[in-house]
Copies of this chain bind each other. A is one copy, B any other.
Amino acid sequence: MNPKIAFVGVGRMGANMARCLKDRGYPVAAVFDRDAPTAQTIAGELGAVACRSLSSVTAAADVIFTVVTDDNAQRAVFAASGDSLLIGAAGKTFVNCATISPAVHVEIEAAAERAGASSLEACMASSIPQARNGTLYLMCSGRKPVFDGLKPILSELSDHGRLLRYLGPAGTAAQVKALVNMVMNINTAALAEGLGLGAALGLDLHALIEVFSQTGAASRIVTTDGEDMVNRDHACFFSAAHAAKDSGIALALAEGAGLNLPLAAATKAQYDRLVALGLGNIDKSGIAELTFPGRTATPRRTGDPA
């Protein structure tokens, strides 16, 4: 019999992971979101209870996924006092999917273990469609036996385990995820500069994207974001604000290590500019709004005619 599941944080990622697991035969017993109407809607859809307290989430399920926004949100749901997932947590297993600081994963693992529970970090290097259809690239770290015990359920989310990786002790996956996103964000900024300059030179940008994809400029970002940058289609899969946050996590790690990473810093500055322009909620491809001639600070809204 499959364990009962709960989700804390049912935004786009969490809700789609919950939908996927329900499809695969896992009972989704409870959901929680700090936005109560969102929790109600998803609970109704999945036949789950929309919990009004974190402790009732823990009570309702065996395996609790947390898909929250940042370090503070992650710490808040595992608070040492007041309402918390840690209340009555003995024997429960937490799977923490947020992109947060590595040190916070280490903290949460220790707190969970003090409460008699287990904790695993499962960082996702994919986006919403992959959450929905169970093809997330999942980078896990924590205690190996905890990972082994969760393999069946995590495999359902990661293309039958083909995209499931165990990377080491708590914090490792978050470090790797921070590095993945740091490099991805730089590659994104690079593409925005290449296409922006191509536009300024009057080149055929579709031909340019094809050439990029077939040469040393090739990257996954060319495929996923190239046409969106040209077409100004910045419907959000991974927001500019998240990009700024994740590059910031990597830069903080670099600072701690005494490393100078000028590209990561320049990329964070670009995403910070987007946020300052009030564009933090558009997709990371929106960085092209800063590099194409005539676009700066006067972007059309998504959906406006091109």
Contacts and interface: CB of A to CB of B under 8 A. Distances in A.
Interface stretch (A37-45, A143-151, A264-272): A264-272
Given A189-B263, A262-B269, A183 B201 contact: no
Contact of A216 (B194, B221, B267, B293): B221
Contacts of A161: none
A191 interface: yes
A211 B261 contact: no
Nearest to A171: B201
Nearest to A192: B263
Contacts of A293: 257-259
A186 interface: yes
Contacts of A219: 187, 218-221
Contact of A264 (B193, B207, B212, B264): B193
24 contacts: A125-B211, A126-B215, A163-B214, A165-B211, A168-B204, A172-B203, A175-B198, A175-B203, A179-B208, A179-B212, A180-B215, A182-B194, A183-B191, A183-B212, A184-B217, A189-B262, A193-B264, A200-B257, A257-B293, A258-B293, A259-B291, A262-B270, A263-B263, A263-B270
Nearest to A296: B260
A196 interface: yes
A153 to B, nearest CB: 21
